[in-house]
Structure 1
Amino acid sequence: MMRKVAALASTVLSVLLLTAPEAAALDKITGSGSTYVGPAMADWQNGANSRGIPVNYATRGSPTGVNQYGDRTVDFAGTEAEITSLIAAGGGGQSAEQRGYQYVPDVAGAVAVMYNVTDGAGNKVDYLHLTREVIGRIFSRDITRWNDPAISATNGGKALPDQPITLLGRTGQSGTTALFYDFVAHSAPGPYKAFVQRNEGTGIGPLPDGVRPIQLPYSGPDADFYKLFADSEQIAQAVGKGSVPFSIGYDEFSYALRYNAPTAWVENQAHQYTQPFAENIAAALTKADLRPDLSQKLDGVYTNPDPKTYPVSAYSYLMMPCTTGRDTCRGGYDAQGKTDTITGFLEHIACDGQVNMARIGYSPLPPNLSQEMMNANARLTGKPAKQLNAANCANPTFHGNLGAGAGSPPDPFEQLGGVAKLTGNGPGGTVAPATGPSSSAGTATATATPEEELANGGSKNWRDADPAAYQHGADSPGFGGWAALVLLVVILAPLAARGVLRRLRRS
């Protein structure tokens, strides 16, 4: 009996040793950059470290992360700003281009429009509804006071107090600033163009056509109307605590959730008002176009006709080395231990790392982009990519859902008949129907000339490139018999181990 138990225990131990990660062979890797992905990265880092995958990430802003990656002071970067845009806007990026890189989408997120406003009676406003055009005009300083008719038109028709609007934003260079002002440029192109021209040489520009600012004005005609903070955490804290009266700012939605900061309902192309919960982010990004290098073009997101769309949605990327498969590849890491660590980290992000994303203010990657993380590993190592599917990946989208916390709350105005009924905005009303971004203000997107075109479909124009279609919920290729065997062993090994213990106790 004891001989059989010993044999069984030996078999289980061999299997566990076969499938366990070689933690001793892994070298610690460090990353830096995006605050947009910060809460997600903290979740991934903690999960990876608990599994013996040594990772450390610091939220210093996308441009800083990209430049530190280029200087080889970190092993990977988090960013929403592509290298071409950073170079064009004077944000650096040249050293990262020399080191070589690939973009790897790691999570779907959204920029929330957060605010601190009281009504005429001094009551806190927690129902603010804004059209895309009005948001663009506010952040271009075309609308400057809270009692502007364009704001009252979508908020019950009753004017908010006659108070100046204080804009909250980021000091220095920021990928979130570039991301949000891309939306502003598309939503109110006329006021945006005037804003850029008015502030040239004050931290903004001069900018080539189509390149969005990565920094807000630190002097000049509009600087006094901004209150700038060092990072996303500080912006959300200020809004959540109400420390800056009559203010409005932009920040990643995860921080709004963390600090209970009021978040605006934003009108989409279907004239529905949404907030940036996972189901709304996922709906919006079905119209994201991905360049061949996986960087993103978001025009279709801003005008996505799906009624669930939250229009200020976007991906964040990892930037990491590669040896093959991209014109931008220049070689891998100088230590095998770092290669092994980052490939393990990417697999964790792609699968288990997506489980909590809806709960903390993001939306999990669709299956095809989780698979792209495995493809990124292959571009680094030169080995065949692991194929993910529902049997070997815990990402909720492989199982037909977005995870806990994905649903958005009901629009409080809809419960009262909708914005149109409350404001007279519609049949029989007195206010003109909401139209979304003005069609008479010109276009904010410039087409790249041949000399501006870059490798992999990228260009010097922010977000302007030929699309490679995003496929929400696309089928992933199957995985082979060996992977199935390993999965079976992983599932059965704990059961077998418990059986061994029970038998030993009986003996």
Structure 2
Amino acid sequence: MKLSTLIKTAAIGSIAALALTSCAANESSAKPSDDTSTTSSLSGELIGAGASSQGSAQEAWISGFQTANEQVTVNYDPTGSGAGRETFQKGASAFAGSDRAFTVEEIEAGPFESCAADSDIVEFPAYISPIALIFNVEGVDSLKLDASTVAKIFSGKITKWNDPAIASQNSGATLPDQNIVPVHRSDKSGTTENFTDYLAAAAPADWAAGAIEEWPTDLGGEAAQGTSGVVEAVTNGVGTIGYADASRAGDLSTVEIKVGDKYVAYSPEAAAAIVDASPLEEGRSTHDLAIKIDRTSTTDGTYPIVLVSYLIGCQNYKDAAQADLVKAYFNYIVSTEGQDQAAEAAGSAPISDNLRSKVQVAIDAIK
């Protein structure tokens, strides 16, 4: 399938813009990992695109990988999950980052232009992060909320900060008689899908929209572009509340979410715990490791509003040289060093050893 003029233009523009990023990364002081300390034989250019949630992590991964492989240039365009999956399908990138896996129906429909004929795709979690509920209410530093209350706030059923449903869970807090301004993403977003998947699973009676990447226009609220837009709108607004990758929460006040009989604050550890407590989705190919997050888990220490961001590639590439680059880069990302770099740069949760062993089998299958 030929690329549309729009996609070609976007891909070329993105590559040009990202060249500065990759050059800067080559000048980083990051040290190579133990198993890449010898002179690398890899060379060439590797192009990826997708989830903006992975942006800071990708910068760290690119820096470390290019330091260990000086003849390789990696460009990652954080255009968003939906755009990244489309770019990968059209063959304009060798891999994608996405805050959700491809659905089985999308995989069956195909095609994937970088992959060899009849090749399966490889998908696995590489970046795990809690999604924080951030808010800006004068005099209120933290809140405790259950799923039903969160769903009613974002669906417009609860409109005041001193509503009894909020007050009953926050004794001692001085809640103002002030309008609530829910802020949501205006763009197609994996963060939105993960957040609404939580609402749909944990509060189905109060959230009818389901798990969706695009916010329903009939629910109102304030729309903002990208994670940075949501953070800015909440920060500069009055009585605002929104959802964003926790690494971007900054100094904003955040919500503790009710899990079982307790309220749990977001943390990398709590995010990793819910992933390990969740099963793989059924009906997928051997190396398609999509996780079915258990949003209703009552396990102690788990935080259910979590973003699991995937790396996606081909099991068999048309271009063997690209296969080598993708395989090496994926191996670096899931290594202990790569995961620790992401945690330091982006506040993400390193994948567990148990998950890494499953992911390694998938990466080893790339050729």
Q: Taking structure 2 as the reference length, what is the TM-score of the superposition?
A: 0.79
Q: Distance in 1 between matches of 2:37 and 2:77?
A: 34
* Cα distance in 2, alignment partners of residues 145 and 117 from structure 1: 11
Asked if structure 1 preserves the Cα contact closer than 8 Å seen for 2:274 and 2:293, the reply is no
Matches within 5 A, 1:237-276: 237-239=232-234, 242-256=235-249, 259-269=250-260, 271-276=261-266
- Give the AA of the match of 2:81: S
The 8 Å contact of residues 181 and 239 in structure 2, kept in 1 or not, is answered as yes
**RMSD over aligned Cα, in angstroms?**
2.7
The alignment-based identity, stated in percent, is 28
Residue by residue, what CA displacement relative to the aligned partner does 1:417-449 show, whole Å, maximum 9, x if unpaired? xxxxxxxxxxxxxxxxxxxxxxxxxxxxxxxxx
- State which of 107, 125, 133 in structure 1 corresponds to 2:127: 107
Distance in 1, matches of 2:59 and 2:149, equals: 34
TM-aligned CA deviation for residue 95 of structure 1: 4.2
The secondary structure found in structure 1 opposite 2:303 is: coil
The yes-or-no answer on 1:277 pairing with 2:267 is yes
Q: Which runs of 5+ in 1 are unaligned?
A: 1-15, 197-210, 324-331, 382-507
SS in 2 for 1:354: helix
TM-superposed deviation, 1:69: 0.5
Tell whether the 8 Å contact from 2:191 to 2:307 is kept in structure 1 after alignment: no
Larger radius of gyration: 1
> What SS class does the counterpart of residue 289 from structure 1 fall into?
coil
Change (3 A) 1:19 1:87: closer
Please tell me the residue identity of whatever aligns with 1:84.
Answer: T
Q: CA deviation at 1:180?
A: 0.8
Cα deviation per residue 1:149-187 (whole Å; 9 max; x = unaligned)? 111111115562222221112112111111110001112
Which among 149, 154, 157 is matched to residue 164 of structure 2? 149
Aligned with 2:366: secondary structure? helix
**Post-superposition shift, 1:310?**
1.2
Of the candidates 194, 198, 209, which is equivalent to residue 179 of structure 1?
Answer: 194
Q: Judging changes above 3 Å, is the alpha-carbon distance between structure 1 residues 157 and 95 closer, same or farther for their aligned structure 2 residues?
A: farther
Match of 1:67, SS state, is: helix
The aligned residue for residue 154 of structure 2 is: 139
Q: Counterpart in 2 of 1:288?
A: 278
**Secondary structure, in 3 states, of the residue corresponding to 1:83?**
coil
Distance between the aligned counterparts of 1:254 and 1:263, measured in 2? 12
SS of 1:36's equivalent? helix
Matched, 1:39 2:56: yes
> Structure 2: any 5+ residue segments left out of the alignment?
1-34
**Which residue of 2 is the match for residue 368 of structure 1?**
354
Contact 1:109 1:253 in 2 (8 A): yes
Is the 1:148–1:159 Cα contact (8 Å) retained in structure 2? no
Q: Distance in 2 between matches of 1:147 and 1:296?
A: 37
Q: Give the number of aligned pairs.
A: 320
Whether the 8 Å CA contact 2:123–2:290 is kept in 1: the answer is: yes
Matched, 1:21 2:40: yes
Matches for 1:4-15 after TM superposition, within 5 Å: none
Match of 2:338 among 344, 353, 365: 353
Q: Does 1:316 align with 2:312?
A: no
Kept in 2, the 8 Å contact 1:229–1:235? The answer is: yes
- Structure holding more strand per residue: 2
Partner residue of 1:231? 226
- In 2, the alpha carbon distance for the partners of 1:17 and 1:284 equals 32
Match of 2:211 in 1: 212
Q: Is the 8 A contact 1:83 1:97 kept in 2?
A: no
The amino acid that maps onto 1:338 is Q
Q: Which of residues 294, 298, 314 in structure 1 aligns to 2:293?
A: 298
The structure 2 residue matched to 1:162, chosen from 164, 168, 177, is 177
SS in 1 for 2:206: helix
Quote the Cα distance in structure 2 between the aligned partners of 1:81 and 1:103.
10
| Equivalent residues of 1:39, 1:254 under 8 A apart | no
Note the alpha carbon deviations across 1:249-306, whole angstroms, 9 max, x for none.
11111111xx32222111212x22222212211222221111253111113xx23333
Per-residue deviation, residues 333-384 of structure 1 (Å, max 9, x unmatched): 42x3322221121121111111134443211011132233432232212xxx
Does structure 2 conserve the Cα–Cα contact (< 8 Å) formed by 1:170 and 1:229? yes
Q: C-alpha distance in 1, partners of 2:85/2:153? A: 30
The secondary structure found in structure 2 opposite 1:31 is: strand
Structure 1 residues 50 and 235: CA distance shift in structure 2, 3 A: farther
Q: In structure 1, what is the equivalent of residue 23 of structure 2?
A: none
Match of 1:49 among 44, 55, 66: 66
- 1:66 Cα shift? 0.4
Q: Does the 8 Å CA contact 2:91/2:114 hold for their aligned counterparts? A: no
Counterpart residue type for residue 62 of structure 2: Q
